[in-house]
Structure 1
Amino acid sequence: MPEQLPTLPGAEQLFEEFPSGLLVTSTTGLILKVNRTFCSWVGMPAEELVGLKRLQELFTMGGRIFHQTHWLPTLQMQGSLSEVKFEVRHKDGRTIPMMMNAIRRVGASGSYDEIAVAVAEERNKYERELVAARKRADELVLKERSAQEDLTISQARLRQALRIGALFLWEVDVASGRRRYEDEAARLLGFEAPRPVTDVMYAGAIAPHDREKEAEAFAHAIDGTLDGYQCTYRLNGVDGVQRTVVSSGQGFFDQEGALIQFVGILSDVTEPTRQRALAEDRALFAEQMVGIVSHDLRNPLSAILMGIKLLAHEETAPGKVRVLGHVTSSATRAQRLIEELLDFTQARVGRGIAVVPRPFDLHACIATIVEELALAFPDRKIVHQRLGEGQVVADPDRIAQLVGNLVGNAMAYGTPGGTVTVSSSTDQLTASLRVHNTGDAIPDVQIASLFEPMVRGVPGDSGIRSVGLGLYIVKAIAAAHRGGVTVTSSRDQGTEFVFTFPRIS
């Protein structure tokens, strides 16, 4: 069955209803004919356009300039124009982007231009988006370039810092689990210049006694058992030098716990380790020497004190008795200093201060000590307070030494003429001794190091001198009794040292 063809519109109807705008203008742009499609786009009927307006009058200022400088000369020279975009003004003032194609016809009665127009709103939007995308792309390129430059600078700084700090990088090949070292790490193996270092080569250089420890630490870091990896071990270099290395690293894992990256740093600490060991040896030697000298001085001083007592017993002349008293005081002070040095050496070098626990009455012991101290400080008042039954198992001689040191400290740093209170108390499980004095508060920054050796305050007019071992020995005696000592100090409440220990040590 033959196809039934539609009735075609006439030429005039086709012109008016064509889906593109159609215009005929003079060579100067005067509109001679226009279809309804174009008229509807610009919001003006043909009666307001034909013979009254030139096409360029509908353009924006930029379009008018382009029409004058390019449109007219091009049509004059080559007779046509294709795909030229203009912003055409609607009657209400808004602009509509339109693409125009023009051809110049030359007839017997003169020349005219035929123009086909299409609205380019979507194309214009696309072009704007394309321009915006290109701008964003250019900005991203600039940012990427800047980031690459910053990365290059950062890498250079990192490399410089690693070189100055004698640090070397390594990482883990996630696929094989093997470690990869930078060529500079060859220096740790005793090579004079950088060279490739394999995992097997490096592992073989680790001292045999350190290999198991290092391998275990690395395995725990790789499987995520430990957060990070750090291990100190020794490397036997090809140059015959054994170096001490600190190797540290950090693994990064995905949500399933699989390793995705591991980076590490090697640091040569051979010299600092050697210097630290040397310093420790020197300190130990000095402390041992102090102990030896103090021990050797104790016997002659004891003989001197014994001789002074015999001379004082037989001497009756007041002047000589006074001189012997000064000598006795000086020798006693020297003996006390030697005893402190011996205790200090025993606490630092040995296994701590030795104690011989036995049952005794704490209250009675402290009362006797307070009486003796009252004779040593005749111009100061010492009060003894007691609480509980008083039976303990401890070393009474060390307890007396502890109380003597604390009271001496209170006399040196407390208010001149102020009262010093010594309290002894017991309960079912513990015993405690408190020594309280009034006076200026101990600064907070000093309390933290108060029980360290060679730390002293600044006594007023007490006349007491020491090498700063008293409170260190107090702490050592407390530790030997499985107890502890604390201090609180304020201007209003005064200063109080509290020694607490088990009733049965």
Structure 2
Amino acid sequence: MDRPQPSADALFEHAACGLLLTDRHGRMLRVNATFCDWLGYDAAELTDLKHLHDLLSAGGKVFYQTHWAPLLQLQGSVAEIKLNMVHRDGHMVPMLLNATWRRHGDADFIEIAVLIVEDRHKYEQELLLARRNAEASVAAHQRAQQELQESRDVLSLAMRGARMGAWSHEPKSGKFWWSRELEALAGYAEGRFAKMPGGFFELIHPGDLIALNEAVERALASSDDYVVEFRFLHASGDWCWMEGRGRATYDRQGEPLTVYGLGIDITERKEAQTVLLRQAAIFEHLSDAIVITDLRGNITDFNVGGERMLGYRRREILGKPVTMFHSQHEALRIRREAFAALAADGTWRGELPFVRRDGSRGVCDTVVKPLANARGDIYGAVCVSRDITERRRAEQQLQRLNLELSKADRRKDEFLATLAHELRNPLAPMRNVLEILRLKEFADPQLNWSRDVFDRQLQHMTHLVDDLLEVSRITQGKLELRKQRLELARAMQSAMEAARPTVQASSHHLSVTLPREALYLDADPTRLSQMILNLLNNAAKYTPPGGRISLAAEREGDEAVIVVRDSGIGIPHEHLDSVFEMFSQLAPALDRSQGGLGIGLALVRGLAELHGGTVAAFSDGAGAGSEFMIRLPLSRAASAPADHTLPEPTRVAGLRVVIVDDNADAADSLAMVLELEGHEVRTAGDGLAGLALIGEFAPHAVILDIGLPRLNGYEVARRVRREYGGASILLIAVTGWGQQQDKQTAVEAGFDHHFTKPVDPRELQQVLGRQRV
């Protein structure tokens, strides 16, 4: 006669673990007697009246709302969460919760299995026994299938959540039973083990099967439990790890009736242990600080690099919040930014201020990533921080130095521009006096020689001032090229003519070899001639009297190569690269050159680079002469260049001209030049006097300095255009300020022309010649 089997309700009510069923919001729909007994409640007091979080401690409620409930909704299950539940009499009962989100029909439910932490082993065994009784009940009572199925689902919940499977063996009959959860853990369909002669044991690694059998035999001999770890072959072909636990029941004679086993999948734990062992050396010896936290943000691990960076010992901070390294305000900001970044990208990276144990502050570059198991369940975070305090301090120091250098460089450029302006002012009357002397014919040859010397030296001084300002423009990136397609031979001839007085003054022999074919460049004609002229002047200065200088050009591939050679003092090998630096002059050459600021070659290099070319110096050493080579890209255009030769200006006399300049020598000398050309001229020394003179004299042309006292030249020009019907008056700016923005400002003020001092009177006469009376 069969023994009476317990009903499904009895199995549910008296299961070894607490069982709960709640709606999606956590309101309890059904609880078993085991759970009620643990907490001292009746089922009626809990069902439909309380929510799960009502039974949690204060900390547990916070964790339920911020972590447990969101993770359950996101993942569909939560395994082995330890929370304190409150007994009816107020004391805390530590519990392990396993939960799964289920959908039945149109409704969502949460199935929860609960174990008391201290009695977990006992509950596992009771859970196993309940499972066996449930399976026996299913086999014996088909009539109670529906009720039993409900019990099986609830009991299976705990096993699935904990990734467990069960088995049993009757030694006398040799019968085996395998739970469907065990088959699922191995990757097989339900009932598969029953068709295998050895069942699940066929999947166990041969080396581990011996140890399992020995553990079971020792347990039977001592009537004790067994615990053993072993590998098994998953249906996917991978070797997985399982922890086997179990015990036997005995008859009155002490013979084993049934051996029960519970298998727990520990593959993830084993893999994690392997990874941790492999990374332990890196973790401990890495110079960066590595901090690992749980979901609450409490520190669970801390490496030696962290001890060095933060000044704490590992044992001092385990379990403490990671926010202890930051101020309260910074901690709130970091938490907000980190959560947003982790939710969006899965990684947060940033620079964080931190406080060391001794109170000193620093800055670290930190990366935060979530930690998750193989199923994707997040269980914490890892923070890797690198101390960049010294780097930040060095960068700040570098920024300060760069700012100071930038200010010094700007002051240098401003000084050069001001110096050029101040040097041009005295050059203006000198140029005018020279023009007066040129217009006079002298019978005395010494006077003619003196005038020519004056002319050459004034040109040299003017070139020095121009070079000084243009090198400043290049270094500031303000020099603009006016490129056009031109023939290289013309630029060479122009430079040769300009250099001839300097070359002849030292009795040098200059030979010129023009290219065999017409070479066309896309270049600024003035700047191209200036590069060649500077190389010729440099050769003339550093070659003893009677030396040889040659200028040649030829084509090499897609480049035009311009070469200037001399028989001068040469360049030591160690100075070949530095000769193109600003203000560079060779010490041995100081007593042999004809002066200069050491900026001519720097200007050549800057202009060559602006044209997309290069310049290089070659020499076999002191006394062996020098060679300078410019390489410029040839023009790709096919047509011949346009002829930009300016027509000879028509000579016009009889203009009324007003000159306004606070430099009396410059104004008077220029007035004398223009009067010799046949013009009627008046002068004024400041802006207001100039305006009054313009109103009285009604000039055809006005020549204005810009830096005038009482009223500057720009304002004078504006008032002339506005108040004196100045549309017909020719306004010419003659000033020491010659940068591009100065010329643009002059145009905006109403000037027709802008000349930089010292102006060539012949160029000024060309402009005046176009003014109609």
Q: TM-score, length-normalised on structure 1?
A: 0.48
Q: TM-score, length-normalised on structure 2?
A: 0.33
